[in-house]
């Protein structure tokens, strides 16, 4: 047998701080489940989907399309993307200016709104089976966008 698997001090720092930061903020979001945020996202989804030609009925944070109900929860808000990005920045000691951070957050919010509208549209048009495939796949796309933005700021994606 070999020496075993050992983490460097840098890797330990990353794993510890990333885990603590991400889980703490995510846990707070889940516990708080801020309804004003969910309601705002539901209203924006109602507008986006209506403009895309769907007949949408909204009751608070629930959207009804083609006989299917979609509940908007905090996970749908884009705040999880922002939390992931912040945890990656902090745990890797990557510093960016507050205006740049806010610009990324605005981008993540808008990107997530489009992803969510597409996910809901697929579920409304093609049913639960399609939704169960598209929803997690597009969550990975969300995560990929966050990781690409972090990689750019961290310096992994350098201009040639």
Domain extent for 93: 9-154
Q: Is the pTM of this model over 0.85?
A: yes
Length of the chain: 160
pLDDT in tens, 13-33: 999 999 999 999 999 999 999
Q: What is the mean pLDDT of the chain?
A: 94
In a domain, 19, yes or no: yes
CA 127 to CA 15: how far, in whole Å?
Answer: 38
Residue 160 included in any domain: no
As beta bridge partners, residue 71 has: 62
Residue 96 three-state SS: coil
Tally of structural domains, the chain: 1
Per-residue pLDDT at 4 exceeds 70: yes
Q: Does some domain include residue 1?
A: no
Q: Is 4 a member of any domain?
A: no
């Amino acid at each position: 047998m070999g020496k075993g698997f050992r983490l460097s001090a840098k890797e330990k720092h990353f794993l510890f701080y990333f885990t603590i930061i991400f889980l703490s903020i995510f846990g707070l979001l889940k516990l708080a489940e801020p309804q004003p945020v969910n309601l705002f996202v539901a209203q924006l989804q109602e507008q986006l989907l209506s403009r895309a030609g769907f007949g949408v009925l909204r009751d608070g944070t629930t959207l009804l399309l083609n006989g299917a109900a979609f509940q908007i929860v905090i996970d749908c808000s884009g705040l999880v993307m922002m939390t992931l990005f912040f945890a990656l920045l902090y745990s890797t000691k990557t510093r960016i200016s507050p205006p740049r951070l806010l610009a990324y957050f605005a981008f993540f919010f808008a990107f997530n709104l489009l992803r969510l509208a597409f996910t809901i549209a697929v579920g409304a048009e093609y049913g639960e089976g399609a939704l169960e495939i598209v929803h997690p796949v597009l969550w990975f796309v969300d995560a990929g966008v966050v990781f690409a933005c972090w990689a750019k700021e961290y310096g992994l994606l350098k201009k040639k």
